[in-house]
Structure 1
Amino acid sequence: RDIDDIDALVQTMTTLAPTQFEEWSSANYRFHRRIYELSEQRHTVRLVVQVLNLVEPYVRMHAHVLGSRPNIEQQRAATVAALRAGNSALLYDTIEASILAGRAELVASMTGPIAESLR
Protein backbone atom coordinates (compact mmCIF):
# COMPACT_ATOMS: atom_id res chain seq x y z
CA ARG A 1 0.00 0.00 0.00
CA ASP A 2 1.24 3.50 -0.85
CA ILE A 3 0.93 4.91 2.66
CA ASP A 4 2.88 1.96 4.04
CA ASP A 5 5.70 2.74 1.59
CA ILE A 6 5.72 6.37 2.71
CA ASP A 7 5.66 5.30 6.34
CA ALA A 8 8.61 2.99 5.66
CA LEU A 9 10.59 5.99 4.42
CA VAL A 10 9.83 7.84 7.65
CA GLN A 11 10.86 4.80 9.69
CA THR A 12 14.09 4.61 7.71
CA MET A 13 14.78 8.27 8.42
CA THR A 14 14.33 7.78 12.15
CA THR A 15 16.69 4.81 12.30
CA LEU A 16 19.58 6.37 10.41
CA ALA A 17 22.58 7.54 12.40
CA PRO A 18 23.16 11.29 12.67
CA THR A 19 26.23 10.87 10.46
CA GLN A 20 24.21 9.35 7.60
CA PHE A 21 23.41 12.69 5.97
CA GLU A 22 23.12 11.46 2.41
CA GLU A 23 20.93 8.49 3.24
CA TRP A 24 18.62 10.60 5.40
CA SER A 25 18.34 13.35 2.80
CA SER A 26 17.64 10.82 0.08
CA ALA A 27 14.84 9.23 2.12
CA ASN A 28 13.40 12.66 2.89
CA TYR A 29 13.45 13.60 -0.79
CA ARG A 30 11.75 10.32 -1.76
CA PHE A 31 9.16 10.90 0.98
CA HIS A 32 8.16 14.24 -0.52
CA ARG A 33 8.23 13.06 -4.09
CA ARG A 34 6.13 9.99 -3.27
CA ILE A 35 3.44 12.03 -1.52
CA TYR A 36 2.90 14.11 -4.64
CA GLU A 37 3.13 11.11 -6.93
CA LEU A 38 0.03 9.77 -5.17
CA SER A 39 -1.93 12.54 -6.88
CA GLU A 40 -1.21 10.93 -10.26
CA GLN A 41 -0.98 14.45 -11.66
CA ARG A 42 2.08 14.23 -13.91
CA HIS A 43 2.47 17.96 -14.45
CA THR A 44 2.04 18.74 -10.77
CA VAL A 45 4.62 16.12 -9.86
CA ARG A 46 7.02 17.57 -12.42
CA LEU A 47 6.65 21.04 -10.91
CA VAL A 48 6.97 19.73 -7.36
CA VAL A 49 10.15 17.86 -8.28
CA GLN A 50 11.59 21.09 -9.67
CA VAL A 51 10.81 22.85 -6.39
CA LEU A 52 12.22 19.94 -4.38
CA ASN A 53 15.45 20.18 -6.32
CA LEU A 54 15.66 23.93 -5.70
CA VAL A 55 15.06 23.71 -1.95
CA GLU A 56 17.11 20.57 -1.29
CA PRO A 57 20.25 22.47 -0.17
CA TYR A 58 18.15 24.41 2.35
CA VAL A 59 16.47 21.25 3.60
CA ARG A 60 19.89 19.71 4.17
CA MET A 61 21.06 22.77 6.06
CA HIS A 62 17.88 22.80 8.11
CA ALA A 63 18.14 19.13 8.98
CA HIS A 64 21.85 18.60 9.40
CA VAL A 65 23.42 21.95 10.24
CA LEU A 66 20.64 23.40 12.38
CA GLY A 67 19.93 20.04 14.01
CA SER A 68 16.26 19.89 13.09
CA ARG A 69 16.15 16.23 12.08
CA PRO A 70 14.09 15.09 15.09
CA ASN A 71 11.47 17.80 14.47
CA ILE A 72 11.39 17.04 10.76
CA GLU A 73 10.94 13.34 11.47
CA GLN A 74 8.01 14.15 13.77
CA GLN A 75 6.47 16.28 11.03
CA ARG A 76 6.87 13.43 8.54
CA ALA A 77 5.19 11.02 10.97
CA ALA A 78 2.33 13.51 11.39
CA THR A 79 1.98 13.64 7.60
CA VAL A 80 1.70 9.86 7.46
CA ALA A 81 -0.91 9.93 10.23
CA ALA A 82 -2.97 12.47 8.29
CA LEU A 83 -2.72 10.33 5.16
CA ARG A 84 -3.81 7.23 7.09
CA ALA A 85 -6.75 9.15 8.55
CA GLY A 86 -7.77 10.27 5.06
CA ASN A 87 -8.07 13.77 6.46
CA SER A 88 -7.14 16.22 3.70
CA ALA A 89 -7.56 19.29 5.92
CA LEU A 90 -5.22 17.82 8.53
CA LEU A 91 -2.76 16.84 5.79
CA TYR A 92 -2.80 20.38 4.41
CA ASP A 93 -2.32 21.88 7.87
CA THR A 94 0.52 19.46 8.67
CA ILE A 95 2.39 20.18 5.45
CA GLU A 96 1.85 23.92 5.80
CA ALA A 97 3.08 23.89 9.41
CA SER A 98 6.16 21.93 8.36
CA ILE A 99 7.00 24.42 5.61
CA LEU A 100 6.46 27.43 7.86
CA ALA A 101 8.50 25.93 10.71
CA GLY A 102 11.38 25.15 8.37
CA ARG A 103 11.29 28.64 6.92
CA ALA A 104 11.22 30.23 10.37
CA GLU A 105 14.18 28.17 11.57
CA LEU A 106 16.22 28.92 8.45
CA VAL A 107 15.49 32.65 8.62
CA ALA A 108 16.27 32.71 12.34
CA SER A 109 19.67 31.19 11.59
CA MET A 110 20.55 33.96 9.16
CA THR A 111 22.07 37.30 10.00
CA GLY A 112 22.27 40.57 8.12
CA PRO A 113 19.92 42.75 6.10
CA ILE A 114 18.48 39.97 3.95
CA ALA A 115 17.49 37.98 7.02
CA GLU A 116 15.97 41.09 8.60
CA SER A 117 13.82 41.68 5.53
CA LEU A 118 12.45 38.11 5.74
CA ARG A 119 11.46 38.30 9.40
Structure 2
Amino acid sequence: SFFFSMNWAHCNNYVAKRYMQAHDSDIYFDDIKMQMVAKDMASRYNQGGPPKAVDFLHAFVMEVQRDGKTEYFCVERLIAGEYVKHNNNSGALDFDGVHRATPHVFSRFSFYASSGKLMV
Protein backbone atom coordinates (compact mmCIF):
# COMPACT_ATOMS: atom_id res chain seq x y z
CA SER A 1 0.00 0.00 0.00
CA PHE A 2 0.99 3.65 -0.36
CA PHE A 3 1.33 4.04 3.41
CA PHE A 4 3.97 1.33 3.68
CA SER A 5 5.83 2.43 0.54
CA MET A 6 6.54 5.90 1.98
CA ASN A 7 10.13 6.78 2.83
CA TRP A 8 9.53 7.51 6.52
CA ALA A 9 13.20 8.45 7.08
CA HIS A 10 12.52 11.79 5.37
CA CYS A 11 9.07 12.71 6.66
CA ASN A 12 8.27 15.92 8.55
CA ASN A 13 7.74 15.91 12.29
CA TYR A 14 4.79 17.75 13.78
CA VAL A 15 3.91 18.88 17.26
CA ALA A 16 0.38 18.67 18.67
CA LYS A 17 -0.53 21.06 21.48
CA ARG A 18 -3.59 21.19 23.68
CA TYR A 19 -4.78 23.16 26.65
CA MET A 20 -4.19 21.59 30.05
CA GLN A 21 -7.76 22.39 31.10
CA ALA A 22 -10.66 21.12 28.97
CA HIS A 23 -12.07 23.60 26.44
CA ASP A 24 -14.54 23.34 23.61
CA SER A 25 -13.27 23.26 20.05
CA ASP A 26 -13.84 27.00 19.46
CA ILE A 27 -10.69 28.01 21.33
CA TYR A 28 -8.56 25.74 19.14
CA PHE A 29 -10.04 27.14 15.93
CA ASP A 30 -9.57 30.67 17.30
CA ASP A 31 -5.87 29.89 17.87
CA ILE A 32 -5.51 28.71 14.27
CA LYS A 33 -7.30 31.82 12.97
CA MET A 34 -4.95 33.97 15.04
CA GLN A 35 -1.94 32.19 13.56
CA MET A 36 -3.26 32.70 10.02
CA VAL A 37 -3.87 36.41 10.69
CA ALA A 38 -0.24 36.62 11.86
CA LYS A 39 0.89 34.78 8.71
CA ASP A 40 -1.07 37.21 6.53
CA MET A 41 0.42 40.18 8.40
CA ALA A 42 3.90 38.71 7.84
CA SER A 43 3.20 38.44 4.12
CA ARG A 44 2.20 42.12 4.06
CA TYR A 45 5.36 43.03 6.00
CA ASN A 46 7.57 41.05 3.63
CA GLN A 47 6.16 42.90 0.60
CA GLY A 48 8.16 45.91 1.80
CA GLY A 49 11.42 43.99 1.26
CA PRO A 50 12.79 43.95 4.82
CA PRO A 51 16.37 42.72 5.43
CA LYS A 52 14.96 39.62 7.15
CA ALA A 53 11.58 38.16 6.21
CA VAL A 54 9.03 37.04 8.79
CA ASP A 55 6.84 33.93 8.47
CA PHE A 56 4.46 31.88 10.56
CA LEU A 57 3.77 28.17 10.24
CA HIS A 58 0.61 26.75 8.76
CA ALA A 59 -1.37 25.14 11.55
CA PHE A 60 -4.52 23.08 11.82
CA VAL A 61 -6.88 21.59 14.38
CA MET A 62 -6.83 17.84 14.89
CA GLU A 63 -9.81 16.05 16.43
CA VAL A 64 -9.07 12.76 18.20
CA GLN A 65 -11.64 10.30 19.54
CA ARG A 66 -10.31 8.52 22.61
CA ASP A 67 -12.24 6.50 25.20
CA GLY A 68 -15.54 7.89 23.93
CA LYS A 69 -14.35 11.48 24.35
CA THR A 70 -13.32 14.04 21.75
CA GLU A 71 -10.01 15.82 22.26
CA TYR A 72 -8.72 18.71 20.17
CA PHE A 73 -5.15 19.68 19.35
CA CYS A 74 -3.48 22.53 17.49
CA VAL A 75 -0.90 21.00 15.17
CA GLU A 76 2.06 22.55 13.34
CA ARG A 77 5.40 21.43 11.97
CA LEU A 78 8.13 20.95 14.52
CA ILE A 79 10.92 23.52 14.43
CA ALA A 80 14.09 22.02 15.85
CA GLY A 81 16.08 24.07 18.33
CA GLU A 82 15.52 26.14 21.41
CA TYR A 83 12.56 28.55 21.45
CA VAL A 84 13.52 32.18 22.04
CA LYS A 85 10.82 34.72 22.89
CA HIS A 86 11.95 38.17 21.74
CA ASN A 87 9.13 40.23 23.25
CA ASN A 88 5.91 39.71 25.15
CA ASN A 89 2.32 40.93 24.82
CA SER A 90 3.28 44.19 26.53
CA GLY A 91 6.23 44.79 24.20
CA ALA A 92 8.81 44.19 26.93
CA LEU A 93 12.26 43.05 25.85
CA ASP A 94 14.42 40.35 27.39
CA PHE A 95 17.66 42.27 27.88
CA ASP A 96 19.41 39.19 29.30
CA GLY A 97 19.01 37.37 26.00
CA VAL A 98 19.96 38.09 22.41
CA HIS A 99 18.33 41.26 21.08
CA ARG A 100 16.96 41.01 17.54
CA ALA A 101 15.45 44.01 15.76
CA THR A 102 13.24 42.10 13.31
CA PRO A 103 10.63 40.84 15.82
CA HIS A 104 10.19 44.34 17.26
CA VAL A 105 10.03 46.05 13.88
CA PHE A 106 7.45 43.48 12.75
CA SER A 107 5.35 44.00 15.90
CA ARG A 108 5.39 47.74 15.31
CA PHE A 109 4.45 47.22 11.65
CA SER A 110 1.50 45.01 12.62
CA PHE A 111 0.23 47.64 15.05
CA TYR A 112 0.31 50.46 12.49
CA ALA A 113 -0.83 48.33 9.54
CA SER A 114 -3.93 47.31 11.52
CA SER A 115 -4.67 50.88 12.67
CA GLY A 116 -3.83 49.90 16.24
CA LYS A 117 -6.15 46.84 16.36
CA LEU A 118 -3.44 44.15 16.37
CA MET A 119 0.09 43.66 17.58
CA VAL A 120 1.74 40.48 16.41
User: Please, what TM-score do these two structures have when normalized by structure 2?
Assistant: 0.33
User: Greater strand percent: which structure?
Assistant: 2
| Larger-Rg structure | 2
